Each structure stands twice: as structure tokens, then as C-alpha cells.
Amino acid sequence: MHRAVTDWFDDAARDLPWRDPSCSPWGVMVSEFMLQQTPVVRVLPVWRAWMQRWPRPADLAAESTGEAVRAWGRLGYPRRALRLHAAAVEITEHHGGRVPAAHELLLALPGVGAYTAAAIAVFAFGDRQTVVDTNIRRVHARVVTGRALPSRSLTAAELRLAEELMPADDALAVRWNQAVMELGALVCTARSPRCEQCPVRDACAWVAAGRPEPVEAPRGQAWHGTDRQVRGAIMAVLRAGSAPVPAPSLTGPVDVGTGAGLAPEALRALDALHGLGAPEEQRRRALDGLLRDGLAAAGPSGVSLPG
């Protein structure tokens, strides 16, 4: 399998800037933050602009968190921007401005969990670490375990399996991790896997079993009418303009009449927020959450991005 999958990878791998040998560990780290729950195609332009503007951790650390959140744009989960900023500050203050190479030190950074720490150690520093992301879990579930999809949460058995499957050689292990992840992203996809293109289809337990259906029905992510949706709409308003937005125009009735001084984009975003028809109480709760999380800041003239 090592040979089949890595050979396939050599031929099919996407040409991504954070995979270029010239990419700095910081570039790899930024990509890993942005790629958390976010597809590659949406990350690419934001990553390029980000690296252009803040080529080193210290460059980002010198900025306000609000600027980080604004540059994050519409990638989603804007708290990731806060965590990336906080990690940059920590790297600047405690690691001499360089992304640490040790898995343990990486894990201690804000926003860096088991996956991201392993990914940075492997892809930026060539370590032999076990990387387990959603793609790798799915490939293992199918090829080895014969199931359509992995369970909802990562199990100790999966971790053990991933360790056992990894090549002993350091350099090969790096490519293996990269290759299995890519296989899951391009061929062994969740919805409509392209088994005819798979380099290990003849060894796949799931194919051999006749591609049985998933045992667990996926749990849908509620969206319409949730606080998340309202939070997102408020964030869109704050990102759209630099001028503070009076809190009542965010949480109050539509006809509050406080549009003066706001950029046209901000007004459009404000219309979208009101268009949701969310109750005032919910909008206030959402705004409080954003303030508490540090995604928004309250000033004398209204609410804006922090900093």
C-alpha cells in the first residue's frame, strides 16, 4: 500500500503553495489553521494575501486582533483568526519568533490540537508523527476496516491503526501521511468516492464487502435560526466597514435609523442581518457572545472589530 499510494500521490498531488519546499514553517502553520474545516479552494487566496502581509509570526503579532479577523474574510470560524494571532504572539515572545518544531511545544499553542500539531511537525519539519484527519480516518475506515465512514469521534483503535500503518522510514512516513490525506480529499471522498481511480481499490475491504452503506446516520449541522447564523451576520457587518456600528442597529428593530456614516457594504450586511428576522433577544445574545469571545469590541460610539 505504501508504494501504491505514494506513487499515486506523486502523479495526482495538487500543486499547493504550502507544499512547496520553499514554504516556511509559518506558512505551513497558517495553512493548517485555515484548513481546519475549510476546503482548499477557499483557503488559497486568503492564504496568499495573509502571507504577503504577514510573512513572519512577528508581523502578525504586531497587528491588532481585529485586523487578523478582517483579513480572515469569509473563511468561517473567525475565532481561528484570534487563535492564530495569539499563537503568533506566543511564538514571538517565547520562541524567538520561530515556529517551534517539537510536537509538544506546538500542542501548547492556542488553536493547535492533536491534528494541527502533528501536521506542522510532519509537513514543516519532516518529523515522523501520526497525522489523523478526517480524510485519513475515512480512507482507513474503508480500506482496512471495511466501513463506509469512520465513527463520529476519533477512537483509540483508529489512532493505533494509523500508527501501525505508517512506514518506518521518516521521509516515506511524511509522504505517506500527505498521500493518504490527498487520497481522501480527491478520490476516497465522503459522498461519491471515485473508486475506479483508486490505487488500492483491489485491496479495499469496503469495496470487497460491496460498498455497504454507513452504519451511523450523519448528524446534520443545524444552521437556520441558530445563534451561529446570527453571529455570522453580525460579523459580516463588522468586517464590512471600519466605522463602529451602534449596538441598537445590530440588536434593535430594523427602523432604528442609525445608518449614517456606515459604508454601503456595511449597510447591506446590516440589511442581511435584519432580514434574518431573528428576535432582539437572540441578536443580543449573539452579540454578547462575540464580545465575550473577543471577536468584537464595544466602544463609545458602537461595536467594531477589536483593536
Catalytic residue numbers read: 32
Find the shortest distance in angstroms from Cβ 257 to DNA: 25
Distances (CA, A) of 232 to 78, 215, 228, 289: 9, 33, 6, 11
- Contacts of 193-202 with C-beta under 8 Å, sequence gap 24+, read 193/142, 199/4, 199/5, 199/7, 199/8, 200/1, 200/4, 200/5, 200/143
Between CA 128 and CA 130 the distance in angstroms is: 7
- Rounded to 5°, the CA angle 191-151-108 comes to 105
Residues in contact with DNA, shown as a per-residue x/- string from 276 to 305 under the rule CB under 7 A: -------------x-----x----------
When asked if residue 220 is in the footprint of DNA (CB under 7 A), the reply is yes
Stretch that binds DNA, among 15-23, 50-58, 164-172, 260-268 (CB under 7 A): 15-23
Number of H helices, E strands in the chain: 16, 2
Bridge partner list, 245: 303
Nearer to DNA among residue 189 and residue 301 (C-beta)? 189
Find the shortest distance in angstroms from Cβ 139 to DNA: 11
- Footprint on residues 92-111 left by DNA (CB under 7 A): 110-111
Stretch that binds DNA, among 57-65, 149-157, 201-209, 298-306 (CB under 7 A): 149-157
**Radius of gyration (C-alpha) of the chain in whole angstroms:** 22
Find the shortest distance in angstroms from Cβ 128 to DNA: 18
Contact of 152 with 216, CB cutoff 8 Å:
yes
Find the shortest distance in angstroms from Cβ 166 to DNA: 17
When asked if residue 142 is in the footprint of DNA (CB under 7 A), the reply is no
E strand or H helix at 171? helix 170-186
Bridge partner list, 236: none
Nearer to DNA among residue 226 and residue 258 (C-beta)? 226
Find the shortest distance in angstroms from Cβ 19 to DNA: 6
When asked if residue 184 is in the footprint of DNA (CB under 7 A), the reply is yes
| Cell numbers given for 306 | 477589536
Q: Where on the chain is the footprint of DNA (CB under 7 A)? A: 16, 18-19, 31-32, 35-40, 42, 74-79, 83, 110-117, 119, 133-135, 138, 149, 152-153, 155, 181-182, 184-185, 189-192, 217-221, 223, 226-228, 231-233, 235-236, 289, 295
